[in-house]
Structure 1
Amino acid sequence: MNGNWLRVSPDELERAKTNLGWAHEIAMTARDDNSERWTATDKAWHGLDFLLDRLGFEIPLVLGAESFVELPDVEPDSDEMFDFLDDLEDDWGYGPPSYLTPVQVAAAASQLATLTEDDLIRGVDPQELNRAEVYPGTWERPGELARVAHYLPDVRTFFAAAAKEGDAVICWLD
């Protein structure tokens, strides 16, 4: 399970809202081309989300704040939910993508600008992540927290570039 982000213009975001299939094609092309419009945090996505939340980070940049689709009011692991996800027009991986608006991207970039790798993991007990069942659940291994922190400079650069261009960001797990 890997975390992914795709920078899109406001016009592209509007098109994605009505055509997730088109957005999926753009995302896969950007990923395959290793475009600067796409980046990923691999398996560190959940750890990064947990650590940012622990610091009081206001924008849910890993999973997005806005939904493209309205999820049914059923249990997350129910047959009804799996049937719903199977019926989506494109396979984004683990559920439908979400997004951050250009305003949310700018706010995230601003918060990230002063955050250091040390800030992200200072005082963190790896058992906190294990107790919270943070994926991938290997936090007792030496270097696991540093592996998550290692992504921060690229995340900071990605969001700064998106904010500078006035872009939105599509977020998904695959």
Structure 2
Amino acid sequence: MITQYLRLTPAEADQLRRLLAEAPDEAYEFVDRDEDQARGMDTDKAWAGLEFLLAKLGPPVNVISGGTAVTDDEWGYDSPRLLGPDEVAEASRFLDGTPFARLAELYDPAELTAAEVYPMMWDEDWALEYLGGVHTALVTFFHDAAAASDSVLLWLN
């Protein structure tokens, strides 16, 4: 399971809403185009660990499982959700101000394991570095999306 993200311009967000209403089967194809890979990213399996650590800091926007559902249909494991430009900007400010060193201070492999945080690899010697790499990519992704006033579509796949 991974969390996937895609930046959407206002026109693209409108087109996605239109497709979801008129041709739901085409909506997923619309966001899964090869040329959009530069505007997307995924967290690999780090999503739950990052969500667990970020929650300890009380983020203003949940960048892992937040947003407003755009359909009841599931794209993988849940319905896709949209963070609007204002939420993206707020999330970006929080992430920009939260260096990974702050999250690393909160990292306790035994706590994540006891809480059964997916994917149950937290006692591996590489786990913290793995989270750090995904955190860096997520910060950059949200920073770039906010700078462009994009929305962000996310879903668990």
For 2:82 and 2:97, the matched residues in 1 are separated by: 23
Higher mean displacement: 112-121 or 12-21: 12-21
Instruction: Give the length in aligned residue pairs.
Output: 153
- Report the TM-score, using the length of structure 1 for normalisation: 0.80
Q: Name the amino acid aligned to 1:61.
A: V
How far is 1:98 from its partner?
A: 0.8
What corresponds to 2:110 in structure 1?
127
> Unaligned stretches of 5+ in structure 2?
none
- Report the TM-score, using the length of structure 2 for normalisation: 0.88
For 1:144 and 1:101, the matched residues in 2 are separated by: 31
For 2:32 and 2:119, the matched residues in 1 are separated by: 24
Matches within 5 A, 1:1-174: 1-20=1-20, 21-29=25-33, 32-33=34-35, 35-69=37-71, 88=73, 92-174=75-157
Q: Is the 8 A contact 1:65 1:100 kept in 2?
A: yes
> Unaligned stretches of 5+ in structure 1?
71-87
How much identity, in percent, do the aligned residues show?
35
Q: Is the 8 A contact 1:66 1:100 kept in 2?
A: yes
Q: Is the 8 A contact 2:4 2:155 kept in 1?
A: yes
For 1:139 and 1:15, the matched residues in 2 are separated by: 40
Greater percentage in helix: 2
RMSD: 1.8
Q: Is the 8 A contact 1:48 1:149 kept in 2?
A: no
How far is 1:144 from its partner?
A: 1.0
Higher mean displacement: 157-166 or 8-17: 8-17
